[in-house]
Structure 1
Amino acid sequence: MKITIAGGTGFVGKALTEQLLKNNHEVIILTRGRKNTNGTNRIRFVQWQSENSSPIQELEGTDIFINLAGESINGGRWTQQRKEKILTSRLNSVNALLDIISKLRTKPKSLINASAIGIYGTSLVKIFTEKENHGFGNDFLSNTVQQWENEVSKASRLGIRTVFCRFGIILDKHNGALPKIAFPYQSFFGGPIGNGRQWMSWIHIEDVVNGILFIIENEQMAGPINFTAPHPVTMSEFGKSLSSVLHRPYWLPVPSVALRLLLGEMSTLVVDGQKVLPEMLLDNGYPFKYSNLNLALKNIFS
């Protein structure tokens, strides 16, 4: 298949592109830089979102569009300027993709778009699935994801299967939140974060990639899909597993108030939490490679 990816040079995009090429798909990476035709004949870089770019002809025949573009939420304190960039970068990429798709003679089969479990808001007691109508949160992250998904849903009006990949905390040795969480433990002063009872809905990067490939092949899957492992853990359980895998002590608590002062609103990612289950992936038979946290961490840090 011909698959076009926006955000293909990011954390998830790189891992996904590598697997798509192994599976003999043709991949186009949308880039804001100059068009690059180097590499194999199965991967090309096409310029978009600039005054001089007109990628329509090169994107004709695309079977699947995947949008992973957007300012990282893990890149620093959520100042008002950064919050505006987090939101507008997501909305702009969606609108640019929809504009391209609307001009294609042959429409793609699917638009698979990144999203986040942050849409649900936080809770110590609720269990969130795609099928239950829980309502959504009312914090910055939830409001951002709601606006993001509302824009993406316009693709369905063009008769295109539309998928929202609601990512949990993606575990990888070098990218995402895990290196920051692991650093105190590796430095011998790790311990409970906040009260330790908040939920952490995690997923291994390999299951993110394989889950997207699974959705591509299973065309009956549409709408919101939670990308979390089947067994979320409390932050206390996560810390104990991490310290065990790293052979480091688990002893020095990190108070919630200290994290809020250090990280600002971004602290909600680790201080608060939500228990999210991947019902859509499980009901459709996706075989998780890492459903056990200890095995996932051992794989990452081996």
Structure 2
Amino acid sequence: MNTAIPRPATVPDPVAGTAAISARGLRKSFAGKAVLDGIDLTVQQGTVLALLGPNGAGKTTAVHLLTTYLRPDAGDIRIAGQDPAKNPQAVRRATGVTGQFSAVDGYLTGRENLLLMADLHLLPKAVGRRKAGELLERFELDEAADKPASTYSGGMKRKLDLAMTLVGDPKVIFLDEPTTGLDPRSRRTMWDIIRGLVAEGTTILLTTQYLDEADQLAHRVAVLDGGRIVAEGTPAELKARIPGGHIELTFADRGALDAAAALLDPTSRDDDGLTLQLAADGRVSTLRTLLKRLDDAAVEVESLTVHTPDLDDVFFALTGRKGA
């Protein structure tokens, strides 16, 4: 059974300014089954929204609707101020999409893949060559630029894929699980690239199965489950709404453990491990008060750890499942 967490009546905009992505009442069904059931999304310019949800929650369908690959059954969409129903070409010019699976052509070199994208964007030849060279250097692919992309590592292919997305200078980028299958070093390189794009004013809607990725990159997070947005807010706001934060104290001997247990109100006690666990809200003032009480009573603490809920806890509480 899902843990009920009330959603605020109103969700404040993350940054004052223009919404680069806006969707209201978005609905989509397949074979009579609702995949999206009236979702609302807003992403302010120059920010990242992470869209989380279990497999089959509708994340990729939402991306397809927002990028004109699919038409919604109902709802209103604006991308970079444009209505995809009335002016889909303007939306496509303003957006870039990096999907779950690389769009790189393995038979072409990295440079040729970029030049192909430049041709598709109708860039003049000289402009396309310059753009390809700049992107190869920016993504640290210049040494492999003239090698077939089939020889690239997984991380290199993902970087080339994103570089191809940037050929058209999109204002809004949709990243659908962009680091799936990458090793930790390649994931962090991709994170740095994404942060750089946002610093330049690019707006990003990110779907990911890695909750730490959302925590690292997103200004706001929306959790999608059962075709509905079940929670939305900054990572800190969502984590603050989840119970379970605690402090664990470890003592050097049984006497100190007994003294602390008599002084405090522990939620659990481990005599073998000489530890006490206490409920806590993660605030520094709470920790300071606790340590002062122990110090005033001359109770020595050997070590202390603080656990605050993370996005994994948020996800599990909202959907009843681990992982996105």
TM range (shorter): under 0.3
Q: Which structure has more helix as a fraction of its residues? A: 1
TM-score normalised by the chain length of structure 1: 0.24
Q: Which structure has more strand as a fraction of its residues? A: 2
TM-score normalised by the chain length of structure 2: 0.23
